[in-house]
Amino acid sequence: MTIAVLGGTGDQGLGIALRFVQAGEEVIIGSRKAEKAENAVEELKNLLEDQDLSNLSGLSNEDAAEKADILILTVPILAQKPTLDTVKEAAKGKIFVDATVPLQSNIGGTPFSYFTVWEGSAAERTAAILGGDVKVVSAFNNISSSSLMRHKEAIDCDCLVSGDDKEAKTTVMELIEKIPGVKCVDAGPLEQARTVERITALLIGLNIRYKTHYGGLRITGLPDK
């Protein structure tokens, strides 16, 4: 399957694209402007200079969404709706992964504080905007962009995944577990994104307090799959 990372030129999107390219997946970096996406591709090529990156390309968000099978949204909350509006038609019938977190820093506050959107979570907001024929899954919220970008190291973190479509959620979890070190945990229906998104703010605060960029989360005591 082809993966489009929409708004993929920021640290989180770039890190997700990098990890999936390393795993051998076909990846398209999307951006509001195609030129910016192409620049991000060059950045990854410079970083992974010893690897064949014929499976990586850069396009506008609209074109990336049209060509891909799975879409991953990695934009700040203020860019969420404008981006969704541009890819709504292309997203129909596809799996849509939302990694958005409503942080106060996006509206002039602190990066370790969360604010609640009307729909309850950013992922539920995406589902409301895109409509019922799009399979929305919430994931990547609790994995730091620094861990994603540290491409020579395995990631010491679980990924909490929520969604209402069981098959779509399973597909996303299997894909994410191709990233070394990451174990996915099924967090339940999409409404659980309300809790998971808040964990991002907590982890950011812990990373600031302990002067690191790699603080993560492991869920223990669960049976093997």
Q: pLDDT tens, 159-199?
A: 999 999 999 999 999 999 999 999 999 999 999 999 999 99
Question: Would you say residue 28 lies in a domain?
Answer: yes
Amino acid in position 159:
C
Question: Would you say residue 219 lies in a domain?
Answer: no
Question: Would you say residue 176 lies in a domain?
Answer: yes
Question: Would you say residue 133 lies in a domain?
Answer: yes
Given a cut of 80, whether residue 105 has pLDDT beyond it is no
Question: Would you say residue 215 lies in a domain?
Answer: no
Q: What is the pLDDT of residues 5-60, one digit of tens each?
A: 999 999 999 999 999 999 999 999 999 999 999 999 999 999 998 888 999 999 99
CATH code of the domain covering residue 17: 3.40.50.720
> For residue 221, what pLDDT band results from cuts at 50, 70 and 90?
very high
The number of domains in the chain is 1
Question: Would you say residue 96 lies in a domain?
Answer: yes
pLDDT at 64: 98
Question: Would you say residue 95 lies in a domain?
Answer: yes
Q: What is the pLDDT of residues 107-150, one digit of tens each?
A: 777 777 777 788 999 999 999 999 989 999 999 999 999 999 99
Q: For residue 105, give its domain range.
A: 2-209
**In this structure, are strands 26-31 and 135-138 parallel, antiparallel, or unpaired?**
unpaired
Question: Would you say residue 161 lies in a domain?
Answer: yes
Q: What is the pLDDT of residues 64-98, one digit of tens each?
A: 999 999 999 999 999 999 999 999 999 999 999 99
DSSP states of 17-46: HHHHHHTT-EEEEEESSHHHHHHHHHHHHH
